Chains A and B, each alone.
Chain A
């Protein structure tokens, strides 16, 4: 069983890196989905074979101990610097602390499992999700869900609650 990610700090990170338009409820759903994903992650798992390449590829070693350490490190640094917890900082100050590790990544978000920092893993997990895609376009695209063939031709319906440009 992997060591669980410190939930309070993870939620404080989420507030800094996920869109405000998700609101508390949507953000909680995104964090819970990330936690479930993280719990199910299998280190050094066999990956899909690349086309016409005889080599077998495996995913990397377990990133979670590193992520736990990063979240604990954020709390410790915050305590030393400001005498309070990471979640007690305002969002700009939290971003200030996350800017250093995130600054080394990009421009793409990459895949969550290969993210060097837990904040990046959370972002990659959310922004590549069907939920985020629908929010971006303001449409019910529901990518990679069983949708039937009937609706394929029509313009995707508008997303209840808005989103989109």
Chain B
């Protein structure tokens, strides 16, 4: 039997971007809010001590039931579909993008400008940091601008990172503590970080995960959350281009469809599933998918690439003191004028690479007991390893696409997404320059500490992915406007990762949250109750 659920606002997805929208609307309007999540609930805070122990001991997934077996696509995408989304597992590194990110066409003649500027988004960065609970310190203002302090002081540098910062100071490159979504003070009812170093699953609740926000909203009676409920398509109002309803399948009772009717619909389904839902919702008036009159849905999928490496340093460090804290520099993300385009961040961690206990020595001889300890001590007594990584900016390409894969369907027969990422030719042309320069910087840093680069590797995985519904003022080249409203449907918004124009060279989630809050402000003006 069909069920009908009515509300003022219907949010599709229960990840971190949905949490931002739901929380803001709940606080600032009296609208009735429905949140629909395809996945179920996973380990509660109380259960995370146990699942953490099993993750440490056996490598097990600390979040049972965090995915849907037959709901998965091809190409780099998160597997998590669960209340809280992929930010249940996240590390919680929350840098902002740099002001340059929003104007790279104007400043450097490559890529695309965003329709919004740094000044437009800055208040929403702050708001996102306050909602999440950000602990951080400001770097040099010319490469780490902000108008107000972080809500919490930074995580303390560990002994290892403090020694490493003496080294980077020597090299003349400013590094500061990575901002984190982890409490350094009691914050919004959550605990202080205990430095237990398993941040993929936090047993104390010091790391922000979106389930906390949903639980609070549920307890306050401000949202209705329908989990294990998969939205299969959006349907238009017969007489207009407004969205009338979301058709969903209750995964516990798939033969009884659920119809969600609302005044405003918000797709907060992440970088892959948002475009996917629009494409799935094709109808006779929008044969290529909703919000896709100009054929831009699923295009310009993007993310950043990286070069990483290990640097041997002549200093004694103690790996394990705080492996989940790191140093950050945005010096080269705000590089000033450039002859050839290159923007990247730099991160540094403690590491035990090359200095872990081992079974055989360099000659391949088996080591036993005390010999293993002696060999291990010899390799750690006066030398240490630092891990370094540079995310660099990849120019998005129109042909970088998410499409429906009719050869791969879920149990309901719906085609799953397929993402064929591509970087623009400019990125490929620049790559030798990019990688050569970054490697040179690694070597320069190593030399300044009297050390050497042990190894490097490159990755073309599109990290912190986004795109597919990019924002713009011109409907011909974009899917949503600067506030996330689709150009084609006045009551349909897409928020967060899908709407980015480019992915810069910094972890993206804080930006996805800030964009979601910008959209939420607009949604709040809709004449909602």
Contacts and interface: CB of A to CB of B under 8 A. Distances in A.
Nearest to B155: A149
A82 B283 CA distance: 81
> Which of the listed residues A54, A55, A146 has the most CB atoms from chain B within 10 Å of its own CB?
A54
A152 B359 contact: no
B396 interface: no
A28 interface: no
B58 to A, nearest CB: 6
A135 B357 CA distance: 12
B198 interface: yes
A160 interface: no
Interface stretch (B212-220, B374-382, B422-430): B374-382
A16 B371 CA distance: 11
A51 B91 CA distance: 11
Contacts of B56: 144
Given A52-B465, A149-B155, A127 B357 contact: yes
A6 to B, nearest CB: 21
Interface in B196-220: 196-198, 200, 203-204
A116 B370 CA distance: 22
A18 B62 CA distance: 30
Interface string A10-32: 00000011111100000000000
B370 A141 contact: no
Contact of B60 (A19, A48, A145, A146): A48
A54 B159 contact: no
B373 A21 contact: yes
Contacts of A42: 54, 58, 60
Nearest to A146: B194
B463 interface: yes
A107 interface: yes
B104 interface: no
A59 B58 contact: yes
Interface string B317-331: 011111101000000
Contact of B359 (A37, A51, A106, A142): A106
A105 B58 CA distance: 20
A156 to B, nearest CB: 5
A18 B69 CA distance: 43
B359 A156 contact: no
Given A42-B60, A55-B79, A49 B358 contact: no
B4 to A, nearest CB: 33
> Which of the listed residues A103, A136, A144, A156 has the most CB atoms from chain B within 10 Å of its own CB?
A136
A163 to B, nearest CB: 8
A149 B59 contact: no
A87 to B, nearest CB: 16
A156 B77 CA distance: 40
B55 interface: yes
A46 B64 contact: yes
A143 B320 contact: yes
B369 A54 contact: no
B366 A128 contact: no
B156 interface: yes
A40 to B, nearest CB: 7
Interface string B138-178: 00000000000000000111110010000000000000000
Interface in B442-495: 461-463, 465
Given A102-B366, A103-B366, A127-B357, A149 B195 contact: yes
A153 interface: yes
Contacts, number: 175
A143 B198 CA distance: 10
Contacts of A56: 67, 69, 79
Contacts of A52: 76-78, 461-463, 465
Interface in A38-54: 40-42, 45-49, 51-54
Contacts of B203: 146
B24 interface: no
Q: How large is the interface on B (under 10, 10 to 19, 20 to 34, 35 or more residues)?
A: 35 or more
B159 A154 contact: yes
Nearest to B463: A52
A48 B370 contact: no
A164 B74 contact: no
Interface residues of A, number: 62
B159 A155 contact: yes
Contacts of A16: 368-369
B46 to A, nearest CB: 16
A49 B55 contact: no
A20 B374 CA distance: 12
> Which of the listed residues B75, B318, B360, B364 has the most CB atoms from chain A within 10 Å of its own CB?
B318
Given A106-B366, A153-B156, A48 B62 contact: yes
Contacts of B79: 49, 53-56
Given A16-B369, A149-B156, A137 B380 contact: yes
Nearest to A52: B76
B133 interface: no
A154 B318 CA distance: 11
A82 B60 CA distance: 42
A94 to B, nearest CB: 10
Given A19-B372, A48-B200, A107-B358, A148 B194 contact: yes
B192 A149 contact: yes
Contacts of A49: 61, 66-67, 78-80, 89
Interface in A48-97: 48-49, 51-56, 59, 95
17 contacts: A20-B370, A40-B57, A47-B61, A48-B59, A52-B77, A52-B465, A54-B74, A54-B75, A95-B368, A127-B376, A143-B197, A143-B319, A147-B195, A149-B194, A152-B156, A156-B321, A164-B377
Interface of B: 54-62, 64, 66-67, 69, 72-80, 89, 155-159, 162, 184, 192-198, 200, 203-204, 318-323, 325, 356-361, 364, 366, 368-370, 372-373, 376-378, 380-381, 461-463, 465
Task: In the A-B complex, list the 10 residue pairs whose CB atoms are closest, starting with the nearest.
Answer: A143-B320, A106-B359, A146-B194, A127-B357, A106-B360, A165-B381, A52-B76, A107-B360, A49-B79, A165-B377
